[in-house]
Structure 1
C-alpha cells in the first residue's frame, strides 16, 4: 500500500497489482486488502506518528492552479504574430469563460500518450495514457506530481497486410 500511495497509483492499477500478487503468491490467505480503496481507507484510519500514508494534495500543484484565464498578449515583433504560452491565455478560453454562469470556471482536462521503453535495451515498450490539467502553468503541468497514469494503450499486432479489413 505504501508503493501505491507514494507512487500516486490509481485504484484501478492498484487493484490489478493486488490481483496479480494474489494469483502468483503461494500463500493460503492474502495479507493484502480486497481492493486498493479498502487499503487506503484502512491506512487513513491509522493514527501514529511513525506511519504517514495519508494521501496528500501536492501544494506545489494546487497553489499554481489557474481559476480564471489570464490576458497575456505576447507578440512576435517581426511577423506580428500573437504567441500563446498557456491554454488559459488564448482567445477561445477567455471567450468561453464569458459564457459561463457566475461562480463557474473552465477546467481543461488533457489526456496524452507517449511511447515509453520499459527495459534498458529498448526491446520492450508501451504507450501509457496520462491525465493532467490545462489550468496549470506548463512548468507545473510537466512535473511528475501533476500527472496521473490512467492506463496503457494496447498494442495492435501488425498482420503485414495493411489493406485488409481486419487491419
Structure 2
C-alpha cells in the first residue's frame, strides 16, 4: 500500500486528496499576518497544490508503508549522528536544524514548522528556538568538525574574494558505495531492455548514452555522476550567501537513488554580489557569474579529470 508523508508533521496519508486537504487546512492557521509569510502561503495554496511540479514532489515522496518507519528513521538517525554536533540545547532542536539544512528550507518555511510544532505539541515550554534565524546564528557559533570544508578562492570581483567551500568528490563516491545495501541496486553494465521486441528505457543503464559510452571504455566500468544545485541561499559558512551543490550516482537504481543516504552535499557555490540593479544586469557582472560557476565546477571535478582511472570498492570487491 502506498502512502504520502506530510513534511511538516510527518502524518501519513493514503490518498492525494486527503494530503491536499490537510495542507490547505493547517498551513494558513499556523502563520501570523507577516507579509512574507502570507505570500508564502498564497504561493503554496494557489500555485503549488495544483501544479505538475507539486504532484511530482508528492510522487517522489510516495513510499511503501510497511518499511516507512524503519527506513526513514534509520537513514535520518545515521545522518544526524554523522553531521550534527550534540552541543545543541536538546535533541528536538538538533532534529529541526538538521531538517532545515538537509532539505534546504528557507527561513519562512522553517518558522512555519516551528509554529506548527508549538501549536500541536502542547508543551509548556518549547524546546525550539523562537525563529529559524536564531537557529542559524546558533549553528554559526558551533564547532562542527564533520561539516568542515576545503576553501578555494574562485574569483575576485569588485576587490572582494569569493570562495568555493567543497569536499572531496571521490571520498563521497566511496562513502556512498560503502552504504550497506547499495551493492544490491548498483548497475555496472549496459542493459538492452525490450518490450514486445521494441526497445524501451527505464534505468540509466538502459539508455543510448550509457551503451555508447560503455563501448568506448576498453578496460573498466562506467561511473555516472550527477551534480545538481538550486537557488536556495544559505549563510551558515562565514555568513556568506552561497548555493549548495549536491552529488548523486546514477548507477544506483532510481528508487534507491532518491533516498537521503545515496546523495551527498558536495559543497557551496559562491554568489557574487552587485552594488545595484544596473551592475547586476551588466555584461561584466554576468560574465563574472559565469566564470565563477565554471571555475567552481573545475575545482569540484578536478579529482576525476586528473585521474585516468579510479579504484573503487563495492561490497568488498574492486570495481
Q: Smaller-chain TM-score range?
A: 0.5 to 0.7
Q: Does 1:166 align with 2:285?
A: yes
Deviation at 1:15, TM superposition (A): 5.4
Q: Does 1:140 align with 2:256?
A: yes
2: CA distance, partners of 1:89 / 1:97: 11
Aligned residues: 114
Q: Does 1:112 align with 2:228?
A: yes
Find the counterpart in structure 1 of residue 185 from structure 2.
Answer: 64
Deviation at 1:100, TM superposition (A): 2.0
How far does the alpha carbon of each residue in 1:113-138 deviate from its partner, in whole angstroms, 9 at most, with x for none?
1234769xxxxx85311111110111
Q: Does 1:154 align with 2:270?
A: yes
Conservation of the 8 A alpha-carbon contact between 1:61 and 1:145:
no
Conservation of the 8 A alpha-carbon contact between 1:74 and 1:84:
no
How far does the alpha carbon of each residue in 1:64-94 deviate from its partner, in whole angstroms, 9 at most, with x for none?
111112212469xxxx9x6533221111211
Three-state SS of the structure 1 residue aligned to 2:284 is: coil
2: CA distance, partners of 1:3 / 1:60: 16
Conservation of the 8 A alpha-carbon contact between 2:246 and 2:263:
yes
Whose helix proportion is higher, 1 or 2? 2
Three-state SS of the structure 2 residue aligned to 1:136 is: coil
Find the counterpart in structure 2 of residue 14 from structure 1.
Answer: 148
Structure 1 pair 63–7 and aligned structure 2 pair: CA distance change class (3 A) = farther
Is there any run of 5+ residues in structure 1 with no aligned partner, and where? 17-55, 120-124
2: CA distance, partners of 1:115 / 1:83: 34
TM-score (norm. length: structure 2): 0.30
TM-score (norm. length: structure 1): 0.53
